[in-house]
Chains A and B, each alone.
Chain A
Amino acid sequence: MGENIPPADVPVVPRAGTVYGVLAEYDGVAPLLEAAAKVRDGGYTYWDTYTPIPIHGLDEAMGIRKTRLPWVVFGAGVSGALLALLMQWWMNAFNYSYVVSGKPLLNLPPYIPIIFEVTILLSAITAFLGMLLLNKLPQLYHSWFASRAFARRVTTDRFFIGIEARDPKFDIAEVRALLGSTRASQVETVVEPAAPAMPEQVRKYGLPVAVLLLAVALVPPLLIAKARLTPRNSPRVQVIADMDQQPKFLPQQANPLFLDDRAMRPLVAGTVAVHHANLDKFLYQGIAEGQWATGFPMPVTTTLVARGQARFNIYCTACHGWDGAGNGPAAVQGAARSPESWVMPTSLLDGVVRERPNGHIFNTISNGIRTMPAYGDQIPVADRWAILGYVRALQLSQAAPKALVPAERQAELR
């Protein structure tokens, strides 16, 4: 290998045959650290150390200034936190405001885990990508690979210092002398290898052939798209036929096996689900002798009404309010948020509800009415009657004459 003196203006991408730089090889960490300190003191810019393992103290020996990556990561973390806050405010409090469990719409505690996660996510991604970017990675080829010693041992058991020719202070004799004065086992001048020449055929036909192959590769997806998008009379080609055509009947299909041609079979008359006969119309439907029942199917006791109060406070107060006047917290919130469309719940103290027979109100609790959903699936039947008992008690107490209040508590009345 000849040692060319590089011209004054070294191109960033060196031409083949020019000197890329000088490489020194070391057997151990200690000589490498000494040499790195020497090169650092020599004032070189375009140089680096190459080691198979991370080495403590190398940063100081090389005089590398501290990375600014932590600040970039910090910025990313702060943006992540703000982004998560903005996102949740937009989704929960602004664009689709929806009251959950009576909590306020803009509501910090449940936001915190998501803020935390997004902060970590953006920080971690930034730290990883920023590390790659600042290290100019990934780099698939490096001119030092031209050195056989470097290529074979830099990732196993040797340590290298390379000073590149593009360094403004680079002078091949000086650099070789400097590295030679360290405890290097070998100093080598690396010449930029000549790039292998492109074969004539590739240069001539490469591009047309590539375009042609690409065009051919586009044909199958285009055919598939056409087959899927154009209507036709003949059946489609079925690749996996037994998935597309399963031997079964879907709802509403015909089945000639039965006289009525229906694939869905009706229940045999009189069928009831196990334990769900519910034959007692009074108890289960509130109907007595074809009319809405007026009494209760069980004795009305203070225990029953107290049970009803507890259930009422759990299920009904959200809308109907604690006193049944129809001003529960959910109703008030809803009316405040969408006054034009919100339907306020009925006051249970109104004359209409007062005069409704027991069976009718029981039916309303069970099956719902207007915007009120059905509670039959959530509240056991005895509890629904208990709630009715408490509603009657409310109707009585909210319009009770003063004389009914015990004498010793009359003073508390306002």
Chain B
Amino acid sequence: MAEVADIRRDNVWLGGAGRAVAIVAGAVGAVGLGIGGAIAWAQPDQRAHFFASYLTNYCYFLSLGLGGLFLVLLEHLARAGWSVVVRRLAEGIASTLPVLCLLFLPVLWGMGYLYPWVNPRGDLAEHLQHLLEWKRPYLNTGFFGVRAGIYLVVWLAISYYYLALSSRQDRTGEPRLTLRLEGLAPVAIILFGLTLTFASFDWMMSRDPFWYSTIFGVYYFAGCVVGGFALVTVVAVLLQRGGRLVSAISPDHYQDLGKYTFGFIVFWAYIAFSQYLLIWYGNIPEETQWYVRRSHGPWGGVSVLLLLGHFVLPFVAIISRWPKRRPALLGAVCVWILGVHWFDVYWLVMPEYSATAVPLSWLDVVLFVGMGGVCTARALLWLGRRPLIPIRDPRLEESLAFENA
């Protein structure tokens, strides 16, 4: 029945509990990052491993932050009504981007360890040296830094603008702000797409400077969006368990979040397969080497894990309507997706550090906890200062009344 949920009795504030969790998460995160950094400082032979693990976790949390920002942009771009009740949560996830900008700095410090094109080995074959020389105008430390600066500034600017105006609307209730955000969305999403693509080329693909794939950026983007939708779902489930937004977010909203998660899981697999098929069919050594590294030995196992865990299992689990309308079940699948998405990024970054073994170690755990803690703290503090839904958004009523046929 078309009835607007009554949110006047809903608790739309994170309150003191949120602040407490934020302080704990921030403290744990700072300790984690500190331990990781100290180890890298004290043990020079661990630095290559440290930076590879750092980049993995950085790109993972970056993908979530960018995924959140994408959800915000998407809603404004499409003038979507249904998603207004969960937009603030996506904004909260995107609010981690300033922290992620700071967290990028160690990557600059570790460039020499991360990117073979910084200090090429002397014993490279002649044609590989020639290739690096050819790519030098793009792959050099100065331009790399400038580009990174551009990406980060673009993300900061977009997220600041969208988050600040959304918060301002909470106070003033101006419908005009919605129109302004919608008007800018096409430009913002084009900038977003370009920066994300080139950032993934620079930061992950150039780990093997002899390999290239033009679809690589789309692949990382697919992971970002899957991560963004899965995380919003998990956050929504956790908040409702904690007594927030109890009637605002309905099974109909979960069903749509589930549909998007499902759709982008399939999109991710589609892109992954598109990249694989062309390289497999062409069978040219300079292209296949990247996959050879990932399909033999223990990395082959990780590839199978991704195929089954990142595609088959979520596909079967949430294809039907029934699980998508059950928050606990959908939330559990989304937690699984977020976990296996970490392995996806790990699989992108790590084999260039260790081709013969999967070097899972406590470093990964420490840095994951460190970065995750800091980002969680930032998001909770940001969400703690404003209501958990955009209470005066002109489309809020529409969103509350939203129904899946």
Contacts and interface: CB of A to CB of B under 8 A. Distances in A.
Contact of B1 (A33, A101, A110): A33
A54 B405 contact: yes
A113 interface: yes
Interface string B263-307: 000000000010011001101000000000000000000000000
B403 interface: yes
B2 A57 contact: yes
B276 A57 contact: no
A256 interface: no
Interface in B1-55: 1-2
Contacts of A29: 2
Interface in A27-56: 29, 33, 54, 56
A56 B277 contact: no
B403 A57 contact: yes
A112 B281 contact: no
Contact of A56 (B273, B283, B403): B403
A60 B1 contact: yes
A110 B403 contact: no
Given A57-B403, A101-B283, A109 B276 contact: yes
A70 B320 CA distance: 9
Given A109-B276, A112-B273, A57 B281 contact: no
A110 B277 contact: yes
Nearest to A101: B283
Contact of B2 (A56, A101, A109, A112): A56
A179 to B, nearest CB: 21
B277 A109 contact: yes
Which secondary structure characterizes the binding site on chain A? helix
A54 B403 CA distance: 12
A113 B405 CA distance: 31
Interface string A351-378: 0000000000000000000000000000
A18 B317 CA distance: 53
Nearest to A66: B321
Contacts of B320: 70
Contact of B405 (A33, A56, A61): A56
A112 B281 CA distance: 13
Interface in B50-80: none
Contacts of B405: 54, 56
B281 A110 contact: yes
A54 B280 CA distance: 48
Contacts of A70: 320
Contacts of A113: 277
A112 B280 CA distance: 13
A18 B403 CA distance: 42
A328 to B, nearest CB: 16
Interface string B362-405: 00000000000000000000000000000000000000000101
A110 B283 CA distance: 13
Nearest to B276: A109
Determine the interface band of chain A, counting residues with CB < 8 A from chain B.
Answer: 10 to 19
Nearest to A30: B2
Contacts of A112: 273, 277
B287 to A, nearest CB: 14
Contacts of B276: 109
A263 B1 CA distance: 84
Nearest to B280: A109
B1 A57 contact: yes
Interface string A99-143: 001000000011011000000000000000000000000000000
Nearest to B321: A70
Nearest to B3: A57
A56 B405 CA distance: 6
Nearest to A54: B405
A29 B405 CA distance: 15
A156 to B, nearest CB: 21
Contacts of A110: 277, 281
Point out which of A29, A101, A109, A110 has the most chain B C-beta atoms below 10 A from its C-beta. A109
Interface in A45-88: 54, 56-57, 60-61, 70
Contacts of B283: 101
Contacts of B2: 29, 56-57
A109 B281 contact: yes
A33 B2 CA distance: 10
A124 to B, nearest CB: 16
Interface string B312-340: 00000000100000000000000000000
A348 B403 CA distance: 76
A70 B321 CA distance: 10
A57 B283 CA distance: 55
A377 B362 CA distance: 60
Contacts of B280: 109
B304 to A, nearest CB: 14
A57 B403 CA distance: 9
A84 to B, nearest CB: 15
B291 to A, nearest CB: 11
Contacts of B403: 56-57
A33 B1 CA distance: 8
A110 B280 CA distance: 9
Nearest to B401: A56
A156 B280 CA distance: 56
B285 to A, nearest CB: 12
A54 B404 CA distance: 12
A61 B403 CA distance: 15
B403 to A, nearest CB: 4
Contacts of A60: 1
Interface in A341-399: none
A102 B359 CA distance: 35
A183 to B, nearest CB: 16
A306 B280 CA distance: 28
B277 A101 contact: no
Nearest to A113: B277
Contacts of B1: 33, 56-57, 60-61
A29 B403 CA distance: 15
A307 to B, nearest CB: 14
Contacts of A101: 281, 283
B60 to A, nearest CB: 28
A32 to B, nearest CB: 12
A57 B281 CA distance: 50
A101 B280 CA distance: 11
24 contacts: A29-B2, A33-B1, A54-B405, A56-B1, A56-B2, A56-B403, A56-B405, A57-B1, A57-B2, A57-B403, A60-B1, A61-B1, A70-B320, A101-B281, A101-B283, A109-B276, A109-B277, A109-B280, A109-B281, A110-B277, A110-B281, A112-B273, A112-B277, A113-B277
Interface of B: 1-2, 273, 276-277, 280-281, 283, 320, 403, 405
Given A29-B2, A109-B281, 20 more contacts: A33-B1, A54-B405, A56-B1, A56-B2, A56-B403, A56-B405, A57-B1, A57-B403, A60-B1, A61-B1, A70-B320, A101-B281, A101-B283, A109-B276, A109-B280, A110-B277, A110-B281, A112-B273, A112-B277, A113-B277
Nearest 5 CB-CB pairings of A with B: A56-B403, A57-B1, A109-B280, A109-B277, A56-B2
